[in-house]
Amino acid sequence: MEFLRNDTLKALDALVETGDFASADEAVMAAIEAWHQRREDALLHLNALDARIHRSLSDPRPSLTLEEVDAALDLLMQDPTTGEVVVVYGAGALKDSPLDLREDVDLTKPIAEQVFKPIG
């Protein structure tokens, strides 16, 4: 069996020193258990996908047309109060738009705090 690398040993020592684990063995066992759980979850997910694919392939109903799929998706995306279809654009959808952004606004911080002035 190979020995653990120095950076791995330091990480284990840090976990014990901070009190996250009582010992390095406990930390290693927790990591192994977490790995097993992730693997089991992934297998369950794959099995569920496999079953869904098999159900879909064996479904005797005819395939939907593109128009039928669009209509079904419109129903899913419909605002229940107005009946209007809500359009959600993906990442980068506005990159070529003439949207003028103020240079003093940092989009990684709450915008309202940066642009609204307190009353009073």
DSSP string, 5-38: PHHHHHHHHHHHHTTS-SSHHHHHHHHHHHHHHH
CA dist., res. 55 & res. 23, Å (int): 48
Check: CB of residue 15 under 8 Å from CB of residue 27.
yes
pLDDT confidence of residue 1: 45
Q: Return averaged pLDDT per consecutive 10 residues of the chain, 120 residues in all.
A: 81 92 93 95 94 92 89 81 77 70 79 75
Q: CB 12: neighbour CB atoms within 10 A?
A: 19
Check: CB of residue 23 under 8 Å from CB of residue 13.
no
Torsion of Cα atoms, 64 then 66 then 67 then 70, to 10° = 100
Give, for 75, the enclosing helix (H) or strand (E): helix 66-76
pLDDT confidence of residue 89: 72
The owner of tokens 């869904």 is 52
Enter the tokens of residue 99. Answer: 């949207």
What pairs with residue 78 in β-bridges? Answer: 85
